[in-house]
Amino acid sequence: MTMATFMQQLTNGISLGSLYALIAIGYTMVYGILRLINFAHGDIVMMAAYFAFFGIAVFHIPWYITFLAVVLLTALLGIVVERTAYRTLRDAPRTSILISAIGVSFLLENLATYLFSGIPKAFPEFKFMTTPFSVGGVLIQPLVVVVPVVTILLLFVLLFIINKTRLGMAMRAVSKDYETARLMGIEINGVISATFGIGSGLAAVGALMWGMKYSSIQPLMGVMPGLKCFIAAVIGGIGNIKGAVLGGFILGLAEILLVAFLPSLTGYRDAIAFIILIIILLFRPMGILGEKQTDKV
Amino acid sequence: MSILKTENVVMQFGGVVAVDSLNIEVNEGEIVALIGPNGAGKTTAFNCITGVYIPTSGRVLFEDQNITGKSPDKITKLGIARTFQNIRLFKDLTVMENVLIAKHLHVNYNFLSATLRLPKALYGERQMKNECEELLERLGLTAVKNEISSSLPYGMQRHLEIARALATNPKLLLLDEPAAGMNPHETDELTAFIKTVKDDYHLTVFMIEHHMDLVMEISDRIYVLDFGQTIAKGTPDEIQNNDRVIQAYLGVQEDA
């Protein structure tokens, strides 16, 4: 393998990794606050892709307006899902809310199949994002560069919100001790809504870039990425945002480099995530950046 | 004038009656203590007042307003703050952050203007920081304000819990065993501390405590619970000489 191909694969891996990272953040944020694995998160990604498809291909709204609307709509969808399917079960045993999450996932998948049909749709093409340019013999799509840059930027904004703003402080307080936070006057419903809104909004950005990259969307497109991003969050240490990003990059790189170095194993590209997960769980169950869990008394 | 009143508050968990027709009245400016053996239902009573539990029946009135069944954050906003028997600070956060979190609900600018750093928000934030600094100064925590709260010595963590409760601008402060785990010297200090804080911040204090020296010294009135029942109420003198109380709780002198 030449240096050029290696660099090519490396950029591809980083690019895929950032997509995973964006979606993984949503899993980790919700887990951090509610101790809930939001199984519907992958399907929220799918819905975002369809919102974009309808905005651009069906209603011919300029892409920049569509993108903004998609992020807002998806954030709203995340908030609505929490209000209807999770909030009512807040005091129920944790398994109930988990089952509810799986239910929402099935609901969204089947709703999408019913409304948009199971036939894949072509995601609108963005020539300026996909026409490759050459850097020292390496052919690169602008998208491949844009994706990690956007991810890193959003990560900084998110870390700023979490570490420097009142909302972020409230989020950290709620994730540490929900009961005490309420007794300090924090309105937890607002904090939880904001968490779902932000997580889903980031997933929407991921979905937009996912659509541009793979150019075809269908109602079950969120399942596999959803699973992998959940794994990414677990690998990095669930509940930890930097961990989710790290996990996303590890998975993306592992997947692409496996295909590049061992082409005969290409069929196993989806399996690599699970293999990494098993190894991590065996040796560091709390994830790479995770903290050891101590039970609350 | 009564600031807090419970009317026949009952709290039942399955078949267990943790608190049975609790009738307590705390007047403005008083220090009132709630004492009784372990498992008497004292903390449950606090949880009913602060909205952590919704009483099975009965009413809780704060400043003549019915607060039964209101959520803890609403009750905190009305002016009731509390500390916990087992310290419940936000462990990974700094001392300053712990206090800021409690302070934040009194700032009236929204999330958007805070994120965009609008002048009003910046002003509000600075003011909030100043108030917190002042509070930490008063409670002797300035030197450790940037430390992670769980790294503080035990006594300071207790002070920080009180500082955090004060940051919510309460009218009524509920202290759940503030002297738990303290030696006699620290307890004396705490006794003085509670008095000063009460006067400085114009508070009414309602507390659960096992250290009888502390209770008898600073309480205006005392309620005694046993197995969920109020078995006595009165001034420290009356309580110390009440046969039922001595039998159920105080015991003979050596036991205290």
Q: Complex ipTM above 0.85? A: no
Cα–Cα dist B43/B22, whole Å: 13
Mean pLDDT, residues B65-70: 92
CA B16 to chain centre: 25
Check pLDDT > 70 for residue B115: no
Tally of helices (H runs) and strands (E runs) in chain B: 10, 10
Judge contact between A73 and A8, C-beta under 8 A.
Answer: no
Q: Which residues, at least 6 apart from B124, have a Cβ–Cβ distance to it below 8 Å?
A: B107, B108, B109, B114
Size of interface A-B (CB pairs under 8 A): 73
The whole-number pLDDT of residue B120 equals 67
Select from B52, B101, B164 the Cβ nearest to the Cβ of A179: B52
The count of other CB atoms within 10 Å of the CB of residue A261 is 11
Q: Which of residues 38-97 of A touch B (CB under 8 A)?
A: none
Q: In sequence order, what E strands does A110-231 have? A: 121-122, 133-135, 138-140, 216-217
| Residue of B76, B101, B157, B161 to mutate, testing the A interface (most A Cβ within 10 Å of its Cβ) | B101
CB-CB neighbors (< 8 A) of A180 in chain B: 84, 88, 90
Higher pLDDT, A244 or A292: A244
Residue-wise pLDDT tens digits, B151-204:
888 888 888 999 999 999 899 999 999 988 888 888 888 898 899 889 989 999
Cα A168 to Cα A119, A129, B2, B9, distances in angstroms: 41, 33, 38, 37
Give B146 to chain A, closest Cα distance, Å. Answer: 14
How many percent of chain A have pLDDT more than 70?
98
Query: Is it the case that residue A295 has pLDDT exceeding 70?
Result: no
Q: What is the pLDDT of residues A266-286, one digit of tens each?
A: 888 889 999 999 999 999 988
* Number of Cβ atoms within 10 Å of the Cβ of A284: 13
Window 192-211 of A: residues touching B by CB (8 A cutoff) are 194
Structure tokens given for B128: 């909030």
C-alpha A136 chain-centroid distance = 32
Decide: B46 and B82 in contact? Cβ < 8 Å.
yes
> Hey, are the CB atoms on B168 and A185 less than 8 Å from each other?
yes
pTM, two decimals, is 0.82
Q: What confidence tens digit (pLDDT) does each residue in A124-163 have?
A: 888 888 888 887 777 788 888 899 999 999 999 999 999 8
Give the model confidence (pLDDT) of B85-99 as tens digits. 888 898 888 899 889
Q: How many CB atoms within 10 Å of residue B194?
A: 23
Cα of first residue to Cα of last residue in chain A, in angstroms, is 56
Number of other CB atoms surrounding residue A209 within 10 Å: 20
Three-state DSSP class for B153? coil
- Contact residues on chain B for A179, CB-CB shorter than 8 A: 52, 72, 88
Q: What pLDDT is recorded for position A296?
A: 43
